[in-house]
């Protein structure tokens, strides 16, 4: 196949990935926005000061209803830590906010299937439990005290307690949902665009033999349940480093995970890859800025150990039950354009997006007053500014923005070639 044709096919595959996932993104972020607006989270943080099951469970719940943006998750975790959350609860929040969020689950189901979705949910809980045990066993009291001192003071306003029943019945509350929905997209659209594009090009340009060699799939039998332990262990150990080398965000990782699965990577390797979002160098660096390098590396080590143990546990649990998936959904199926249920779901997604954007417009043009909305919106916008700062995207010529522009140009060029070849 000529290079230009491959290039055009890579673009079409990337756009196909996004088209088939669009309704899932919109639905996921809409539900997430509603939860964040209508759930009085301040009440949860009051119970996260200990390392018991209740505190860790609440931290996991809080993380699951938070933003799926990794940078925002770290900023929120620092805020909780500063306000008195126990270190173990803080780490639990980090895991949950990137592995148990609604939109990620929908995307995993769409691209990989129900087996991976079940593993993601069960494994996320297991990973939080393992990390809590590991931190208890190795608790570095001096290191954590130093991290507490190192953390910057945000001076952010606490969210007021509110009557969620009153808010959910008001137009003001739903306007806040529209604003939060837009804020979520502002935080993640670059990662999604870059991630899906990278996955599309990798699917076309990188032969399966590369993944089979890297993950030793060529040395394993065809049945994953009978795969030698050393190969499964190697897959679980190396997957986080592959995720670090191809950092494209938790949402952008799912299409690439589909590519890896189609290339023969084991179930343990795929789960290790999906779980490794918070281990990538840019996020470790953010934690270093928040807590110091020693604490950041300690968190990364705890995460790595928890990821490997969880991936191995899931692999062999699935093998015993007999439901371990042999490969994933076909790349052609999850990147195809067709008049099917996805088409109509996307039409509905466009309508929902239009409604939420309209609500955001009303929210922005509502005259400020002393109401609950004014106070809460102020807090949201203040927090959002901090999150965008963590993205490092404030400068037009930042690395991520330059990369984004390259991606847009690459997509446009591929479409031109595809159209020209069809004429």
SS (HEC) of the chain:
CCHHHHHHHHHHHHHHHHHHHHHHHHHHHHHHHHHHHHCCCHHHHCCCCCCCHHHHHHHHHHHHCCCCCHHHHHHHHHHHHHCCCCHHHHHHHHHHHHHCCHHHHHHHHHHCCHHHHHHHHHHHHHHHHHHHHHHHHHCCHHHHHHHHHHCCCCCCCCCCCCCHHHHHCCHHHHHHHHHHHHHHHHHHHHHHHHHHHHHHHHHHHCCHHHHHHHCCHHHCCCCHHHCCHHHHHHHHHHHHHHHHHCCCHHHHHHHHHHHHHHCCCCHHHHHHHHHHHHHCHHHHHHHHHHHCHHHHHHHHHHHHHHHHHHHHHHHHHHHHHCCCCCCCCCHHHHCCCCCCHHHHHHHHHHHHHHHHHHHHHHHHCCCCCCCHHHHHHHHHHHHHHHHHHHHCCCCCCCHHHHHHHHHHHHHHHHHHHHHHHHC
DSSP structure class, residue 35: H
Per-residue model confidence as pLDDT tens for the chain (423 residues)? 588 888 888 888 888 888 888 887 788 778 878 877 887 666 666 777 888 888 888 888 888 877 656 767 777 788 778 777 888 998 998 888 888 888 788 888 888 889 999 999 999 999 999 999 999 999 888 888 888 777 654 444 445 567 778 888 888 889 999 998 888 788 777 777 887 888 788 878 888 788 878 888 766 556 777 888 999 999 999 998 888 777 666 666 788 888 888 777 889 999 999 998 778 787 788 788 888 888 889 999 999 999 999 999 999 999 999 888 866 666 666 667 778 778 898 999 999 999 999 999 888 887 555 444 444 443 444 343 344 444 544 566 777 778 788 888 988 988 888 888 877
**Backbone angles phi and psi of 394, in degrees to 5:** -70, -30
Domain that holds residue 183: 3-422
Q: Which residues contact residue 180 at a Cβ distance below 8 angstroms, ignoring those fewer than 6 apart?
A: 33, 36, 37, 380
Closest CA to 152 of 389, 400, 393: 389
Report the number of distinct structural domains present in the chain: 1
Asked if 210 and 263 touch (Cβ cutoff 8 Å), the reply is yes
- Model pTM greater than 0.75? no
Q: Which tokens go with 268?
A: 């343990």
């Amino acid at each position: 196949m000529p290079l230009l044709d491959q290039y055009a096919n890579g673009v079409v595959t990337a756009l196909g990935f996004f088209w088939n996932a669009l309704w899932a993104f919109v639905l996921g972020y809409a539900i997430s926005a509603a939860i964040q607006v209508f759930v009085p989270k301040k009440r949860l943080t009051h119970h996260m000061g200990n390392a018991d099951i209740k505190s860790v469970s609440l931290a996991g719940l809080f993380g699951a209803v938070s933003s799926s943006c990794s940078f925002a998750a770290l900023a929120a975790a620092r805020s909780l830590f500063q306000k008195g959350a126990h270190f173990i609860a803080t780490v639990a929040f980090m895991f949950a906010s990137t592995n148990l969020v609604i939109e990620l689950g929908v995307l995993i189901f769409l691209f990989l299937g129900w087996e991976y979705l079940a593993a993601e949910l069960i494994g996320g809980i297991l990973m939080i439990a393992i990390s809590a045990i590991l931190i208890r066993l190795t608790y570095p009291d001096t290191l954590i005290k130093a991290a507490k001192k190192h953390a910057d003071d945000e001076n952010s306003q606490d969210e007021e307690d509110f009557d969620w029943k009153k808010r959910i019945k008001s137009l003001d509350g739903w306007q806040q949902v529209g604003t939060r929905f837009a804020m979520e997209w502002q935080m993640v659209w670059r990662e999604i665009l870059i991630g899906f594009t990278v996955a599309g090009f990798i699917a076309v340009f990188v032969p399966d033999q590369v993944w089979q060699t890297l993950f030793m799939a060529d040395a394993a039998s065809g049945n994953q349940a009978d795969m030698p332990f050393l190969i499964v262990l190697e897959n679980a150990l190396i997957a986080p480093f592959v995720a670090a080398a191809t950092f494209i965000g938790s949402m952008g990782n799912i299409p690439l995970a589909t590519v890896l699965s189609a290339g023969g990577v084991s179930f343990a390797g795929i789960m290790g890859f999906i779980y490794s979002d918070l281990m990538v160098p840019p996020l470790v660096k953010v934690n270093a800025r928040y807590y110091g390098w020693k604490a950041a590396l300690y968190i990364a080590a705890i995460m790595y150990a928890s990821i490997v143990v969880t991936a191995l546990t899931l692999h062999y649990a699935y093998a015993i039950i007999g439901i371990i998936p042999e490969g994933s959904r076909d790349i052609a199926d999850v990147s195809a354009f067709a008049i099917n249920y996805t088409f109509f779901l996307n039409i509905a997604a466009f309508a929902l997006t239009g409604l939420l954007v309209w609500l955001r417009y009303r929210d922005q043009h509502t005259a400020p007053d002393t109401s609950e909305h004014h106070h809460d919106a102020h807090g949201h916008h203040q927090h959002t500014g901090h999150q965008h700062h963590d993205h490092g995207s404030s400068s037009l010529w930042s690395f991520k923005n330059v990369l984004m522009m390259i991606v847009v140009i690459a997509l446009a060029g591929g479409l031109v070639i595809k159209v020209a070849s069809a004429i």
